[in-house]
Amino acid sequence: MRIFGRVAVCGVISEYSSAGRKASPNMLDIVYKRISIRGFLAADFLNVFEDFFSKTLDYLRTGELKTIEDISSGVESIPSAFVGLFKGDNIGKKVIIFVRFCFDTFQAIDGAVIGKVVASGNAKFQKDDLVLGVFTWAQYSLVKEGSILRKLESSEFPLSYYLGVLGFNGLSAYAGFFELCKPLKGEKVFVSAAGGAVGNLVGQYAKLLGCYVVGCAGTQKKVELLKKELGFDEAFNYKEEKDLNYALKRYFPDGIDVYFDNVGGETLEAAVANMRIFGRVAVCGVISEYSSAGRKASPNMLDIVYKRISIRGFLAADFLNVFEDFFSKTLDYLRTGELKTIEDISSGVESIPSAFVGLFKGDNIGKKVISLAED
Ligand SMILES: NC(=O)c1ccc[n+]([C@@H]2O[C@H](COP(=O)([O-])OP(=O)(O)OC[C@H]3O[C@@H](n4cnc5c(N)ncnc54)[C@H](OP(=O)(O)O)[C@@H]3O)[C@@H](O)[C@H]2O)c1
């Protein structure tokens, strides 16, 4: 697929029998290429029937649309015709419509950084200005012309907030939840890696909207934090669950409306199995699949069709158009104390590698920040 590609899942004939290999799309492709996958049933679109019908009639009249039919006769031919569908015996059916319509060794690693200008050859930036951008993991970085760089004004909140709750983690949570999932008050929301930088904010936004929210995380300490301090309705330790599918049934007896996916793998499979009809999945990340050891998600494609589930990958950078809205609302929530900030701060350049590896082991609680100097 190209970037922003769309997949309409009409059917999955190769998976209808238990012998068929189940689809296991590359979830990293889905995130980075912001691919949408959506199952549907024709019956959902009776509202466009008139439009479809008159346009198709016109195409047939002008000969722009050709019909390919494969007709057999007699009731007795029905079973073999049906079995033949799975062997590819048919050519066309009643009507077929063709619509036009890893890091290099020795290379410095980049990350989101807040720094102070030491010297500048660009008139827009002066010595001692505070800037936010993507720099290397180092005490001093050379920022090339054309790099993403934003000047920060002094603020009532710690600078680290601009890397997390008021930065791209916050925007990921806000845009992925509100813009992609279009949640409604009272809907049932599930968030994975809920003790991480993005997940904890998704759960808090969902609670502020009036949703029922359940998060999963990898330690009891995180579970307690989600329930007691961040207001999640429920939380559970996924490492203690033998069967995630069963765990989700316990917390969502009537099913999930919105799943905010940070981990992929079997959590995504279990969530899809428990989604309600017209459920929405925002795929923010698939941390369990980043290393080759992780099991790749293989959600049940039949569920996606029959429950008309939408699964959509995204990058926060796609939603710069809602940045102002996100920023001002989040600032208000922080000022009133309705939104809490969870940070996990270590200091010194030497702590960066272990902090990074720790993200994959669940060492961090909330946004992992490395401090190289005082604010
Ligand atoms: N699309 C975007 O624009 C965008 C932006 C930011 C981040 N992301 C992605 O969003 C996801 C969350 O990011 P974040 O910054 O919130 O995370 P984070 O703060 O870096 O925390 C990651 C958490 O993921 C959990 N985890 C690690 N390995 C896991 C596994 N194998 N299975 C289940 N959980 C695992 C760990 O918590 P536990 O204790 O719960 O295991 C860990 O603390 C990541 O996948 C990240 O790559 C995407």
Do 189 and 290 share a domain, yes or no? yes
Three-state SS for 312?
strand
Do 276 and 194 share a domain, yes or no? yes
Do 246 and 173 share a domain, yes or no? yes
Which residues on neighbouring strands pair with residue 368, listed in sequence order?
344
Domain edge (last residue) among 65, 82, 101: 101
In-domain check, residue 57: yes
The chain-wide mean pLDDT, for the chain, equals: 89
Q: Which atom of ligand 1 is nearest to the CA of 199?
A: 16
Do 249 and 331 share a domain, yes or no? yes
Q: Which atom of ligand 1 is nearest to the CA of 314?
A: 1
Domain of 116, in residue numbers? 106-154
Best mean pLDDT range from 13-22, 55-64, 80-89, 142-151: 55-64
Do 317 and 347 share a domain, yes or no? yes
Do 233 and 301 share a domain, yes or no? yes
In angstroms, the first-to-last Cα distance of the chain is: 44
Q: Which residues line ligand 1 (CB under 6 A)?
A: 31, 168-169, 172, 193, 195-199, 217-219, 222, 262-263, 284-288, 294, 314-316, 359-360, 362, 364, 368
Do 30 and 70 share a domain, yes or no? no
Give the list of residues 6+ apart from residue 347 with CB closer than 8 angstroms, or none.
370, 371, 372
Which residues on neighbouring strands pair with residue 186, listed in sequence order?
none
Tally of domains in the chain = 3
Do 93 and 112 share a domain, yes or no? no
pLDDT digits (tens, 9 = 90+) for 191-202: 999 999 999 999
* Beta strand 36-39 pairing with 110-116: unpaired
Beta strands in 42-191 (DSSP E): 110-116, 130-136, 149-152, 188-191
Do 360 and 225 share a domain, yes or no? yes
Q: What is the CATH number of the domain that holds 36?
A: 3.40.50.720
pLDDT digits (tens, 9 = 90+) for 69-110: 777 666 566 667 777 777 777 776 533 333 333 555 567 788
Q: What is the pLDDT of residue 108?
A: 76
Do 177 and 271 share a domain, yes or no? yes
* Beta strand 130-136 pairing with 367-371: unpaired
Do 73 and 200 share a domain, yes or no? no
Do 345 and 208 share a domain, yes or no? yes
- pTM metric for this prediction: 0.83
Mutation to probe ligand 1, out of 263, 268, 269, 290 (largest number of atoms < 8 A from CB): 263
- pLDDT grade for 237, boundaries at 50, 70 and 90: very high
**Candidate from 57-71, 118-132, 315-329 with smallest mean pLDDT:** 57-71
Residue type, 170: G
